[in-house]
């Protein structure tokens, strides 16, 4: 049976990261809607499919999933309009909502995103997120090793992150350690590329503690992030999109480095992660299984960011789960 995929938003993100893979799947049928019809028509010319004249027409075909690939500043309005038509599934680019752009996430973005998930639940629409860093080779290998080597619970973490990778790295913290319980944050005073640094110390619900520093001040020729995760029985370190995964396993007494072979760039790894994310999502649709990354993961990421911003503004620690409830 064909898998009917509707795409809302046909800008560069859709054309560069999603449609090249989707258009090669023999059982995928594509339909597009864009406020700028010429962009949707251009996608038809390159990737096939057809253009819908309205959200109503797009949903009349009863697509198996709608990919919400609008600019993040328009995502809340697009999602709420789609939910009026009671779609089966919505798949979101990250961040879930960012009304002023992903570099300026605010508290209201969290509450708007929660409203989207609450409405989706009310109409029976399943939600999913992209968070394609979960599909990097290093991430997949790390998850496997944590399980196979019985590293146990996360106990400490340290994250240095360029804002270009900010929401993804917060999601990776949640992936390896779970939700945050408390956070205390400060903002830097010196702007880099019009953005000041954010420095936070946090505690997770499982008791793990750590720090996170977000910046636009690191050069793009340098690693875009360095993540250290310390577990009960082992340690892992990640560096950049295509950097090494380092494993410290006291049971073996060795330090292991897992690197991609030559002739690959960070952008090869980045592009491949979209294909893996989409492949996993399409597979879940075909099998009638839950999505690999649920929409709730997008809300959890915004919860963390909203708590950071409130702590900076009010100069106090934030009880995250109490002040920013995830109840949908």
Q: Is residue 222 part of a domain?
A: yes
Q: Are residue 148 and residue 185 in the same domain, yes or no? A: yes
Vertex 236 angle, CA 232 and 239, to 5°: 155
pLDDT of residue 265: 78
- Full residue range of the structural domain in which residue 33 is found: 3-132+272-293
pLDDT of residue 69: 97
Q: How confident is the model at residue 262 (pLDDT cuts 50, 70, 90)?
A: confident
Q: Is residue 301 part of a domain?
A: no
Q: Are residue 34 and residue 93 in the same domain, yes or no? A: yes
The residues with which 213 forms a beta bridge, in sequence order, are 160, 199
Averaged over 282-311, what is the pLDDT? 98
pLDDT of residue 242: 85
Q: Are residue 34 and residue 92 in the same domain, yes or no? A: yes
> Does residue 259 carry a pLDDT above 90?
no
Q: Are residue 254 and residue 282 in the same domain, yes or no? A: no
Q: Is residue 179 part of a domain?
A: yes
Residues 73-129 pLDDT 10s: 999 999 999 999 999 999 999 999 999 988 889 999 999 999 999 999 999 999 999
Averaged over 298-304, what is the pLDDT? 98
The residues with which 66 forms a beta bridge, in sequence order, are 6, 90
Q: Is residue 307 part of a domain?
A: no
CATH number at residue 222: 3.30.360.10
User: Hey, what are 215's tokens?
Assistant: 């910046």
CATH number at residue 109: 3.40.50.720
Kind and range of the H or E element at 158?
strand 154-162
Q: Are residue 92 and residue 23 in the same domain, yes or no? A: yes
Averaged over 3-16, what is the pLDDT? 96
Q: Are residue 118 and residue 187 in the same domain, yes or no? A: no
Report field, pTM of the whole predicted structure over 0.85: yes
Q: How many domains does the chain have?
A: 2
Residue-averaged pLDDT of the chain: 95
Q: Are residue 128 and residue 140 in the same domain, yes or no? A: no
Q: Are residue 241 and residue 282 in the same domain, yes or no? A: no
Q: How many residues does the chain have?
A: 328
Residue predicted with more confidence, 291 or 191: 291
Q: Are residue 183 and residue 232 in the same domain, yes or no? A: yes
Q: Are residue 180 and residue 154 in the same domain, yes or no? A: yes
The residues with which 8 forms a beta bridge, in sequence order, are 33, 68
Averaged over 57-69, what is the pLDDT? 97
Averaged over 266-275, what is the pLDDT? 90
> Does residue 320 carry a pLDDT above 90?
yes
Q: Is residue 305 part of a domain?
A: no
Q: Are residue 126 and residue 18 in the same domain, yes or no? A: yes
């Amino acid at each position: 049976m064909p898998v009917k995929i509707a795409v809302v938003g046909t800008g560069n993100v859709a054309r560069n990261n999603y449609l090249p893979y989707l258009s090669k799947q023999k059982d995928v049928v594509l339909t597009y809607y864009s406020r700028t019809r010429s962009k949707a028509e251009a996608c038809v010319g390159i990737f096939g499919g057809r253009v819908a004249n309205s959200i109503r027409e797009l949903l009349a075909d009863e697509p198996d999933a709608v990919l919400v690939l609008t600019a993040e500043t328009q995502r809340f309005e697009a999602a709420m309009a789609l939910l009026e038509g009671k779609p089966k599934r919505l798949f979101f680019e990250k961040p879930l909502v960012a009304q002023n752009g992903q570099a300026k996430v605010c508290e209201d973005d969290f509450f708007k995103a929660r409203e989207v998930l609450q409405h989706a639940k009310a109409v029976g629409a399943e939600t999913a997120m992209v968070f394609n860093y979960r599909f990097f080779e290093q991430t997949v290998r790390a998850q496997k090793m944590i399980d196979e080597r019985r590293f146990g619970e996360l106990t400490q973490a340290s994250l240095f992150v360029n804002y270009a990778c900010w929401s993804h790295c917060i999601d990776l913290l949640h992936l390896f350690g779970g939700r945050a319980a408390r956070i205390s944050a400060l903002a830097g005073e010196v702007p880099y590329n019009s953005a000041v640094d954010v420095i936070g110390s946090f505690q997770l619900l499982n008791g793990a503690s750590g720090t996170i520093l977000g910046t636009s001040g690191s050069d793009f020729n340098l690693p875009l992030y360095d993540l250290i995760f310390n577990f009960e029985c082992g340690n892992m370190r990640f560096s950049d999109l295509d950097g090494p995964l380092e494993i410290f396993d006291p049971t073996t007494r060795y330090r292991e480095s897992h690197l991609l072979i030559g002739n690959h760039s960070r952008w090869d790894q980045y592009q491949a992660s979209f294909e893996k994310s989409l492949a996993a999502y399409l597979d879940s649709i075909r099998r009638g299984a839950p999505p690999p990354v649920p929409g709730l993961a997008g809300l959890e990421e915004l919860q963390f960011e909203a708590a950071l911003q409130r702590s900076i503004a009010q100069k106090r620690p934030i009880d995250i789960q109490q002040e920013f409830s995830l109840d949908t």
